[in-house]
Amino acid sequence: MKHKGTAASWRGLAAAGQGAGAFAVHMQRFAAIVLHAGTQSGRGLRRHLAVRCYLEGLRTPAFMLQGLGRVYRKILSREAAAVIERQRIVFKTVEDTLGEFDAWHTLHLRAQAAWQAPAEVQAWFHDNRMHAAGRIAAALQILKLAPEDSEHGAARDVPGLANMRAELTDLAWPAPRKDRMKVAQFLAQELREIEVRFESGALNLRDLEGGLHELRRRLRWPSVYAAALNGLVVIGPQRAAAPGLSHYLTAAVTESRHAHLAHHQRVAQPLTINYAYWMALSWLIQELGRIKDQRQWTAALQAAFRSSGARAAKPLAKMLGSDYNTAAAATRTATSAVERLVLKERVLGCIADELERQI
Question: Of 135, 169, 203, which marks where a domain is finished?
Answer: 169
Q: Is pLDDT of 210 > 70?
A: yes
What is the chain's mean pLDDT, rounded? 92
Q: 206 versus 124: which is more confidently predicted?
A: 124
Domain termination site, one of 134, 169, 204? 169
Specify the range with the lowest mean pLDDT, choosing from 67-71, 78-82, 199-203: 199-203
Indicate if 214 and 317 belong to the same structural domain.
yes
Contact 186, 356 (CB under 8 A): no
Structure confidence at residue 44 (pLDDT): 57
Specify the number of domains making up the chain.
Answer: 2
Task: Give the phi and the psi of residue 290 in degrees, each rounded to 5.
Answer: -65, -45
Could you give the percent of the chain with pLDDT greater than 90?
Answer: 81
Q: How high is the pLDDT of residue 314? A: 92
Instruction: Read off the pLDDT of each residue in 239-263 and give the average, rounded to a whole number.
Output: 92
* pLDDT given at position 309: 95
Range of the domain at 269: 176-357
Mean pLDDT of 77-95: 98
Do 31 and 130 share a domain, yes or no? yes
Question: Does 141 share its domain with 110?
Answer: yes
Note whether 17 and 117 are same-domain residues: yes
Task: Decide if pLDDT at 357 tops 60.
Answer: yes
Query: Considering the chain, what percentage of its residues have pLDDT values greater than 70?
Result: 95
From 115, 137, 169, give the residue that closes a domain: 169
Q: Are residues 103 and 201 in the same domain?
A: no
Q: pLDDT value at position 3?
A: 42
279-301 pLDDT tens trace:
999 999 999 999 999 999 999 99
Q: Once rounded to an integer, what is the mean pLDDT over residues 119-130?
A: 97
Q: Would you call 115 exposed, middle or buried from its count of C-beta atoms within 10 A (0-12, 13-18, 19+)?
A: buried
The answer to whether residues 160 and 28 belong to one domain is: yes
**Mean pLDDT along residues 166-191:** 97
At residue 2 the predicted structure's pLDDT band, cuts being 50, 70 and 90, is very low
Considering the domain architecture, whether residues 162 and 183 belong to the same structural domain is answered as: no
- Does the pLDDT at position 5 exceed 90? no
| Residues 91 and 190 placed together within one structural domain of the fold | no
Asked if 27 and 161 sit in the same domain, the reply is: yes
Average pLDDT of span 151-169: 83
Residue 1: pLDDT band with limits 50, 70, 90: very low
Both 180 and 159 in one domain: the answer is: no
Q: pLDDT, tens digit, for every residue of 187-198? A: 999 999 999 988
Q: How sure is the predictor about 263, in pLDDT bands with cuts at 50, 70 and 90?
A: confident
In the predicted model, is pLDDT for residue 104 greater than 70? yes
Determine the pLDDT at residue 266.
84
